[in-house]
Structure 1
Amino acid sequence: MKYFVAVYEQGSVSAASRQCYVAQPSLSAAIRQLEEQLNVSLFVRQPKGVTPTEDGERLYGHACRLLSQFQALQRSFTAPVNKIRFRLGLSRALGVERMSDLLRQFSQQVPGLELQLVEPDAACDARIIAPEQLKTGEKFQPMYHDQFQLAMPAGHPLALQQRIQLQDFSGLALIKRTPCEAWQKLYPELVRQGIQPDIRADIHTIEYALGLVSAGVACALVPDFEQLHQRQDLLLRPIAMAGLERRIGLAYSPVQASGPALETLLRLCQKSMA
């Protein structure tokens, strides 16, 4: 029933499988089994997604009520869990996909966790930052080592090159993103060599920068996130300059390191290095 409701609401078997954290073939088999048990067809399969049949529409209301009743039944037999409040400071531009996955695992592995995300300079229990932002007395658990590359629209002339030279930035339509460790190193070097790019925008987030790149507005410096290589609307190329990198890790106070939430987060951060 849970899988059926997910497919109904998502309008897609693949989207429902991601929501339910189950392999798509297993979810499809469960839907087929449900159809066989009820002797009806619940969905019309189409090239892009599915649409519910009349029987599917009828079942949806019953399924929602059954799931709600079952959840209420589970809660009645579940012992109350003590709430654990945890404030986590996050720097900008850490990568939506990998941070979402980390926080999802953190929430699942700490019963009763009430997670609050705050700015890294706010009062918090731990912070995911660059080592340059460490405060006196904090410990640092490394997590990610990002190399910055030049993101460009698909079909850009520079895509023919395996590596971008500094001279290629002369007159290049470019997005300035601040704060950005790579920009703070690259731009002064361009100025020193008399190279002037064509700055088209000055923004803060990687997501907006990638949106402008995808739209063909300009190129941008971005961390070499793995998922970016899977996109069809933009390309990444390394830059012929040393030091365009950053390290990201978990900063925390040794005094608080014995708490169950922080212990779990430390373990997940150590795992992220693998």
Structure 2
Amino acid sequence: MDVRLLKFFIAVYEQKNLTRAAEQCFVSQPNISNGIKQLEEEVGKTLFERHKKGVELKTEAHYLYPIAKRLLGELNGLNGFFNEREFKNKIQIGVADSLPQEHKQQFFRTASKLCESVEWNTKEIGRENEINLLVREWKNEEDLFLPLWKEDYVLCIPNGHHLLNKEVIDLKDLEKETFIHCPSCEAHIQCLSILNNETNKMTTVANCSSKTETLTMLMAGLGVTFLPEAFIDGWYGFEVKPFNGPRYFREVGLAYPRKSLRNPAIAKIIEYFSKNELKANKFDDFAYSLKTTS
């Protein structure tokens, strides 16, 4: 069906007058009359009854009008349908708890610039996500893993604690100290085994379900603990002391099944971070690094 005929029909229906409809469509009245006649032949129904003062709307016209408006609206919408900003690159991503804000915001800032009009759907980490931002130990065994940054675990001592008088804390200094633990932490088993084997006198004052709760107990002064360095940045009520002992660290990155690379946005993100380091709090470096890799 000719789109022009729908425009003529809508104009006549709304104006209830052929002359005014012709003016609205910027055509002559004979063009409007012939167009309506052609439309009526195509649908096999009489839409208007002509009379001296205008036209009378038939039942069929009332039925056709909302359909014509919808069809014409959809056709007009095609003009901007393929505009680049109309299509969003959609990514469902799981984000682990206790990751530092400055690293997360830099990742999303960089990834959004890479993919332009990306639409993020953030979830808890899990198999249903296309990609997960998490600690290496938490990824699914079959997933690929792209590291983005490493964080050292540091020894945190609450304010007023006697160990703050020492410049460097040795492993033996931790004997008889009360510890705040996070059993779900990726470094917990390693830390616990070393402390138990070396001191044999460690006292557990709290077992927390998350690093955030561990931080709360630390700030409350209940005991000492190890936490990721970037995670504790900006908090108060404790100090980080140099520790002469085993080094604990965690590796954070992107875990994803190979099939997720079918998503062009994810493929672009993986390609970029395979060649470029994530630089937290260095937003100006993005433009330069993007130019050097393009």
Range into which the TM-score falls when normalised by the shorter chain: 0.5 to 0.7
Contact 1:153 1:235 in 2 (8 A): yes
One-letter code aligned to 2:86: V
Distance, in Å, in 1 between the alignment partners of 2:216 and 2:102 is 16
CA-to-partner distance for each residue in 1:30-49, whole Å, 9 max, x for gaps? xxxxxxxxxxxxxxxxxxxx
| Runs of 4+ residues over 6 Å off in structure 1 | none
CA–CA separation in structure 1 for the residues paired with 2:240 and 2:247: 17
Q: Is the 8 A contact 1:91 1:129 kept in 2?
A: yes
User: Equivalents in 2 of 1:189, 1:137: separation in Å?
Assistant: 30
1:249 equivalenced with 2:247 (yes/no): no
Larger Rg: 2
Secondary structure of 2:86's partner? coil
Per-residue deviation at 1:105?
4.2
Matched, 1:116 2:121: yes
Q: In 2, are the aligned partners of 1:142 and 1:273 still within 8 Å (CA)?
A: no
How far 1:185 moved relative to its partner?
0.8
Q: Which moved more, 1:250-259 or 1:138-147?
A: 250-259
Secondary structure of 2:225's match?
A: strand
Query: Aligned runs of 1:1-274 on 2, under 5 Å?
Result: 79=83, 81-107=86-112, 110-135=115-140, 138-225=143-230, 228=233, 231-257=235-261, 259-266=263-270, 267=272, 270-272=276-278
Rate the CA distance shift 1:137–1:231 in 2: closer, same or farther, 3 A: closer
Q: Which runs of 5+ in 1 are unaligned?
A: 1-76
What's the offset of the Cα at 1:222? 0.2
Contact 2:158 2:238 in 1 (8 A): yes
**Residue 257 of structure 1: SS of its match in structure 2?**
helix
Between the aligned partners of 2:231 and 2:199, the Cα distance in structure 1 is: 33
Tell me: CA distance 1:169–1:136, structure 2 relative to 1, closer, same or farther (3 Å): closer
Aligned residue for 1:242, secondary structure, equals coil
Alpha carbons of 1:243 and 1:263: their partners in 2 closer, same or farther (altered >3 Å)?
same
CA spacing shift, 1:148–1:233, aligned 2, 3 Å: same
User: Match of 2:201, SS?
Assistant: coil
Deviation at 1:125, TM superposition (A): 0.9
- CA separation of 1:254/1:83 partners in 2, compared to 1, >3 Å: closer, same or farther? same
Whichever residue aligns with residue 248 of structure 1, its letter is V
Is the 1:169–1:195 contact (alpha carbons within 8 Å) kept by the matching residues of 2? no
* CA separation of 1:272 and 1:203: change in aligned 2, threshold 3 A: same
For normalisation by structure 2, the TM-score amounts to 0.56
Question: What is the root-mean-square deviation in Å for CA atoms of aligned residues?
Answer: 3.1
Given that residues 153 and 214 in structure 1 are in contact (C-alpha distance below 8 angstroms), is that contact kept between their aligned partners in structure 2? Answer: yes
Equivalent residue, structure 1, for 2:288: none
User: Where does the alignment leave 5 or more consecutive residues of structure 2 unmatched?
Assistant: 1-79, 281-294
Distance across 2 between alignment mates of 1:137 and 1:212: 36
TM-superposed CA distance for 1:107, in Å, is: 4.2
C-alpha deviation, 1:272, in angstroms: 0.9
Q: TM-score, normalised by structure 1?
A: 0.60
Deviation sequence 1:16-72 (CA, Å, 0-9, x none): xxxxxxxxxxxxxxxxxxxxxxxxxxxxxxxxxxxxxxxxxxxxxxxxxxxxxxxxx
